[in-house]
Structure 1
Amino acid sequence: MDGKGIKGIIFDYGGTIDTNGIHWMELIWESYLHHDIPVSLSDFKEIYIFVEKQLEIRKYIEQDYNFYDVLKTKIGIQIRCLCSRFSCDIDESRLLPYSEDIADECYRYVQDVLKDNKPVIRRLSENYKLGIVSNFYGNIDTVLKDFGLYDYFNVIVDSGLEGIRKPNPEIYRIGIERLGLQSEETIVVGDSFTNDIVPAKTVGCKAIWLNNKDKIQHKSMERKPDAIISSLVELEHLL
């Protein structure tokens, strides 16, 4: 990929910087299995999607919550919903304490991923303006500070504060404008073809798809990524 003329990079956060392309639904499900939570994959997926929609609408997540707080809160809500809607074999009072164990496991996973990704972000910040555009809960500043990433980014756009979510391309236009750049000077890096690649190309950015699971491109084949990587470590070699 030709990186000539690129002055800024906008990153997705969840699933990109923190997990290197692994979807959070998959990570939490693996932890459910590890802790023998008695629920089927189909029921878990239904509840996961339901809870995420509720988190968009209701203020369960406070702005001062770090990522461990987020995990513990959302997993606790998931487990309550599972018990009430699917009558799990273990009652809620016995199952709910597992939310902290699952949160611990997932939080450690992110810390391990960031051992590799944080130095990449730091080095890129020395040569490019960096931004984040993320579908989040209004507290991404706190999460980035918790992980020691906040100071590397010139602009942070959190859907929970903006009132607009990906895949609406307008949220990327906000990020580009706040970076003080033009679309053609900006690369977007994300793990979701639908939420990151398509809207990034729509607004005229170059786009790099973090795809380490051989995910299939979707219907909008005209919105092809400019490059595909399997980890953020590969990003530096493209620019």
Structure 2
Amino acid sequence: MMLDKGVEIIAFDYGATLDTNGTHWYNIFHSEHIKENPSLTDMELRQAYIHAERTLSKERLIKPDDTFRETLYKKVNLQMEYLLHNHHIKEIEAEQIRKIVDNSYLVAVNCTRNAKNLLQNLKNRYKLVMISNFYGNLQSVLVEFGLRDFFSCVAESAVVGYSKPDERLFVKAFESFDTDAGRCMMIGDSYNKDIIPAKRLGYKTVWLKGRPWQENPTSTPLADETITDLSELERILI
């Protein structure tokens, strides 16, 4: 099957897709925390990550104009507060937070730079949209990394009110286009949140199989194509 046959619109996930090329952000934070506090365990860091994400979601601490660096700072600060409160670290050091944020931000800078070249090539042939579970500042983040102009539509969970895998977020992204589902494609790192709902709606799907939050599923029949690096899209779509 020619995967790109008839495709007119391509939807991308953002977090852990365009900004890390398939690596879940927990894995990046884990690597950076261990550099600063080698005694921390995987379970302790997972709980700190979950605490930070839930707090950000509940308290809406991310503002619409926050940059990605500011977003990372708020995340890491919340993670550190959890680790301190639960006696996993003895104190919070500002220099440690700075190092973790700086190194994590550099990952996003490098990955989005590579993604930018890919998106430029794709935009010459397809309409591009964004479908992402994010904090309400995705528009600002896309501008920050020079990616906003590539996308005709950005459907962000915190703005729309639905989060993937809710199919309504996907429908919102495509509602302004008079296009059959079979002419749409979804590309993302989460098989459960990106690929399954997209395939249920009739879209073609490309799963970016990377370093996940949990183990990747062993059976992935709803992925029309599986890649391990975004650069492989050149082979499939260009």
Q: Structure 1 length as normaliser, TM-score?
A: 0.92
Contact 1:64 1:142 in 2 (8 A): yes
Aligned ranges for residues 1-239 of structure 1 at < 5 Å?
Answer: 1-2=1-2, 3-36=4-37, 38-84=39-85, 86-92=86-92, 95-213=93-211, 216-217=216-217, 223-239=221-237
The Cα shift of 1:117 comes to: 1.6
Provide, for residues 54-99 of structure 1, a one-character-per-residue CA deviation record: whole Å limited to 9, x for no partner. 2112111010011001000111011011111x2134223xx34422
SS in structure 1 of the partner of residue 226 of structure 2: strand
Aligned residue pairs: how many?
234
Contact 2:51 2:78 in 1 (8 A): no
**In structure 2, how many angstroms separate the alpha carbons of the residues matched to 1:99 and 1:169?**
37
**In structure 2, how many angstroms separate the alpha carbons of the residues matched to 1:218 and 1:163?**
31
The Cα shift of 1:175 comes to: 1.0
Q: What amino acid is the match of 2:195?
A: I
Q: What amino acid is the match of 1:30?
A: S
Using the aligned pairs only, state the percent identity: 30
Contact 1:187 1:206 in 2 (8 A): yes
**In structure 2, how many angstroms separate the alpha carbons of the residues matched to 1:83 and 1:181?**
51
SS in structure 1 of the partner of residue 11 of structure 2: strand
Q: What amino acid is the match of 2:140?
A: T
Q: What amino acid is the match of 2:15?
A: G
SS in structure 2 of the partner of residue 172 of structure 1: helix
Q: 1:48 to 1:7 in 2, by over 3 A?
A: same
The Cα shift of 1:111 comes to: 1.2
SS in structure 1 of the partner of residue 176 of structure 2: helix
Q: 1:184 to 1:163 in 2, by over 3 A?
A: same
Provide, for residues 180-220 of structure 1, a one-character-per-residue CA deviation record: whole Å limited to 9, x for no partner. 4321111000000111011111111011000135963267x
Q: 1:98 to 1:179 in 2, by over 3 A?
A: farther
Report the aligned-residue RMSD.
1.7
**In structure 2, how many angstroms separate the alpha carbons of the residues matched to 1:213 and 1:71?**
19
The Cα shift of 1:176 comes to: 1.6
Q: What amino acid is the match of 2:118?
A: V
Runs of 5+ consecutive residues of structure 1 not aligned to the other structure: none
The Cα shift of 1:236 comes to: 2.1
The Cα shift of 1:109 comes to: 1.1
Q: Structure 2 length as normaliser, TM-score?
A: 0.92
Q: What amino acid is the match of 1:91?
A: E
The Cα shift of 1:113 comes to: 1.6
